């Protein structure tokens, strides 16, 4: 018996060896596509995994499920199932070569991972007492400039830092007023060394019961405990640009859309300081964001926006670098002075042309509810508006060349952008904020809103806990 088992095993080994001899020959790629094939193999495809795929010239990002990689002497083909179209798509060798990028879809988190992340967000929201602070907390005046700017804090905050913030804010405002932006009638900067939320700006003016006048508020808090954020000039200018956008344009204006506002805020700070680095407060002396390099860093954590496939849902600050980078390139191309003259007209155009772009997308039947896809359309739109706006400038050919390079770099299509730009028309709607239309005393809705959000967050917390117990 053991003898027959042993001989069977021997034959099995011989058979396996013969088969294995066949495989390496078949698996060996032909020289023409060997490097491509090996690089595809390196990215270790797993059956059933989803990938985001960008085809050059097409602004639509596809999410495909990997099925198999197949190669013959003539071509390498990769088989995906397009989950949206519910039919197979086979891309042949030449098409693979044209692929801008292929990236594993990291947005598909498991339910448990989503719950854990959600819980963290909820915890921060609960800890964040900014609404209560804004409404009822008494503050000590640290500095005051021309009745229009006041910096407040508590007993621990220094008046010297308060005065520095007030002066910086004044000089920034002056520069931005010259460019045509409007500033709020009264601004209160709250310096706070012990808050859970980072630096931020509140859009509409709010009231504090100890100082009953509507004031636009900028809160200079530490960022995740990093107190350098409180004194950072670029962070102050970033937050100030937010408030200037809200006192120049109405809330529905395109430039006040969240990621757009982030891009403009970063650019505003970079333009003022002649430096693309925003918030150089990391311990290794790197900035939170570098809009020239499209890199965001927080301590050891690095987030790049190299291609459209790097766009991630819910990361407005990082995603906005795709747009602030274009604005920075425009400034580099036409010079700081010309940029100062044309920045406001460019933002006006972004507001007024937007409806016609939406109509264009509708005619293509491409209207989408997907946020990442929507953002990619927004980048395309910004490129088209810059192209159209620059038509009357002396530097148009230089700008066009810069845009052409950017369009190529991001794998958009120049003739498509030119086509869009020719179809943009101004809307009759007015997007200018009128300070005379007084906001009704916002204390009641804001108080209700604050309590409502606390109740909602507490409720969500309980739901997440229950879901975690069930999933355990």
Residue recorded with tokens 């209560």: 132
Q: How far is CA 421 from CA 25, 224, 360, in A?
A: 53, 42, 10
Helix (H) or strand (E) holding 41: helix 34-42
Q: Total residues at the site for Zn ion (CB under 5 A)?
A: 2
Question: What string marks each residue from 238 to 277 as x (binds Zn ion by CB under 5 A) or -?
Answer: ------------------------x--x------------
User: 471 vs 31, 121, 298, 426, 463, CA distance in Å?
Assistant: 50, 20, 32, 53, 12
Residues in the chain: 472
Shorter beta-carbon distance to Zn ion: residue 236 or 330:
236
- Which residue, 162 or 268, has its beta carbon nearer to Zn ion? 268
Alpha-carbon Rg for the chain in angstroms: 27
| Nearest distance in Å: CB 237, Zn ion | 11
256, 266 Cβ separation under 8 angstroms: no
- Half-sphere exposure for 68 (CA within 13 Å, toward CB): 3
CB of 456 to Zn ion, least distance (A): 23
Residues 96-125 that bind Zn ion (CB under 5 A): none
Query: Which residue, 61, 59, 60, 79, is CA-closest to 69?
Result: 79
Burial of 391: CB neighbours in 10 Å, binned 0-12, 13-18, 19+: exposed
88 vs 291: CA distance, rounded Å: 39
Distance between CA atoms of residues 366 and 65, nearest Å: 21
The smaller minimum CB distance to Zn ion, of residues 33 and 265, is found at 265
Dihedral over Cα of 191, 194, 195, 196: its sign:
positive
Using CB under 5 A as the criterion, what x/- string covers residues 128-147 for binding Zn ion? Answer: --------------------
Closest to Zn ion by CB, 52 or 246: 246
What are the E-state strand segments in 23-104?
Answer: 50-55, 62-71, 76-82, 87-91, 99-104
Going by C-alpha positions, the residue among 408, 356, 411 that lies closest to residue 385 is 356
How far does Cα 42 stand from its chain's mean position?
A: 29
- Taking the complex as a whole, the smallest distance from the CB of residue 202 to Zn ion amounts, in Å, to 11
Minimum CB separation of residue 229 from Zn ion in Å reads: 12
State which residue, 265 or 403, has the beta carbon closest to Zn ion: 265
Q: How far is the CB of 242 from Zn ion (least distance, A)?
A: 6
Please, what is the minimum distance in Å from the beta carbon of residue 312 to Zn ion?
Answer: 17
- Mark residues 290-329: x for contact with Zn ion by CB under 5 A, - for none: ----------------------------------------
Give 220's DSSP letter: E
- Contact indicator for 168, 233 with CB cutoff of 8 Å: yes
Nearest residue (CB) to Zn ion, 206 versus 235: 235
Is 188 in contact with 143 (CB distance < 8 Å)? no
Q: How far is the CB of 251 from Zn ion (least distance, A)?
A: 16
Q: What is the full DSSP assignment across 203-254?
A: SS-EEETTEEEEEEEEEE--BTTBTHHHH-HHHHHHHHHHHHHHHHB-TTSG
Q: Minimum distance from CB of 317 to Zn ion (Å)?
A: 7
Taking the CA atoms of residue 168, residue 172, residue 173 and residue 174 in that order, the dihedral angle to the nearest 10 degrees is 110
Name which of 235 and 403 has its Cβ closer to Zn ion: 235
Q: C-beta of 262: minimal distance to Zn ion in Å?
A: 5
Strands 277-278, 211-220: parallel, antiparallel or unpaired by DSSP? unpaired
Q: In the bound complex, what is the minimum distance in angstroms from residue 114's beta carbon to Zn ion?
A: 25
Which one, 253 or 265, has the nearer CB to Zn ion? 265
Residue 350 Cβ vs Zn ion, minimum distance, rounded to whole Å? 17
Q: Which is nearer to Zn ion, 61 or 236 (CB)?
A: 236
By beta-carbon proximity to Zn ion, the closer residue of 134 and 245 is 245
**Nearest to Zn ion of 173, 262 (CB atom):** 262
Residue 291 Cβ vs Zn ion, minimum distance, rounded to whole Å? 13
- According to DSSP, the residues that pair with 144 across neighbouring strands are 150
Which of 150/262 has CB closer to Zn ion?
262
- Site residues, Zn ion (CB under 5 A): 262, 265
């Amino acid at each position: 018996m053991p003898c027959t088992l042993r001989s069977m095993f021997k034959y099995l080994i011989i058979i396996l060896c013969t088969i294995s001899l066949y495989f390496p020959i078949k698996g060996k790629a032909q020289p023409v596509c060997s490097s491509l094939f090996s690089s595809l193999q390196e990215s270790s495809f797993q059956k059933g995994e989803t990938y985001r795929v960008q085809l050059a010239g097409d602004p639509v990002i596809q999410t495909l499920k990997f099925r198999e990689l197949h190669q013959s002497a003539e071509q390498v083909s990769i088989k995906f199932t397009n989950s949206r179209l519910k039919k197979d798509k086979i891309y042949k060798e030449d098409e693979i070569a044209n692929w801008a990028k292929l990236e594993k879809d990291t947005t598909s988190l498991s339910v448990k991972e989503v719950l854990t992340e959600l819980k963290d967000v909820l915890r921060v929201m609960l800890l964040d007492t900014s609404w209560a602070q804004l409404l009822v907390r008494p503050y000590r005046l640290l500095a005051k400039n021309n009745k229009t700017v006041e910096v407040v804090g508590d007993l621990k905050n220094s008046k010297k830092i308060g005065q520095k913030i007030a002066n910086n804010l004044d000089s920034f405002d002056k520069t931005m007023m010259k460019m045509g932006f409007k500033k709020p009638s009264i601004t209160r900067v709250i310096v706070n060394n012990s808050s859970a939320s980072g630096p931020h700006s509140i859009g509409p003016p709010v009231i504090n019961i100890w100082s009953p006048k509507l004031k636009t508020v900028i809160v200079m808090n530490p960022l995740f405990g990093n107190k350098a954020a409180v004194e950072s000039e670029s962070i102050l200018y970033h937050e100030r640009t937010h408030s200037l956008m809200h006192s120049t344009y109405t809330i529905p204006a395109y430039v006040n859309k969240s990621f757009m506002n982030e891009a403009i805020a970063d650019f505003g700070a970079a333009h003022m300081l002649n430096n693309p680095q925003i918030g150089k407060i990391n311990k290794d002396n790197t900035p939170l964001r570098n809009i020239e390099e499209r890199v965001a860093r927080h301590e050891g954590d690095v987030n790049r926006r190299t291609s459209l496939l790097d766009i991630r849902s819910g990361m407005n600050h990082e995603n906005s670098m795709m747009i602030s980078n274009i604005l920075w390139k425009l400034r580099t191309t036409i010079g700081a002075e010309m940029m100062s003259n044309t920045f406001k007209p460019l933002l006006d155009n972004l507001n007024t042309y937007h409806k016609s772009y939406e109509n264009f997308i509708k005619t293509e039947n491409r209207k989408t509810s997907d946020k990442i896809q929507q953002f990619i359309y927004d980048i395309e739109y910004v490129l088209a508006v810059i192209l159209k706006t620059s038509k009357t400038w002396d530097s148009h050919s230089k700008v066009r060349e810069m845009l052409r390079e950017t369009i190529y770099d991001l794998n958009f299509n120049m003739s498509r952008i030119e086509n869009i730009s020719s179809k943009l028309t101004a809307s009759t709607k007015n997007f200018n904020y009128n300070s005379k239309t007084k906001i009704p005393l916002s204390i009641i809705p804001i108080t209700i809103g604050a309590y409502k959000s606390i109740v909602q967050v507490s409720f969500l917390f309980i739901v997440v806990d229950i879901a975690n117990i069930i999933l355990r």
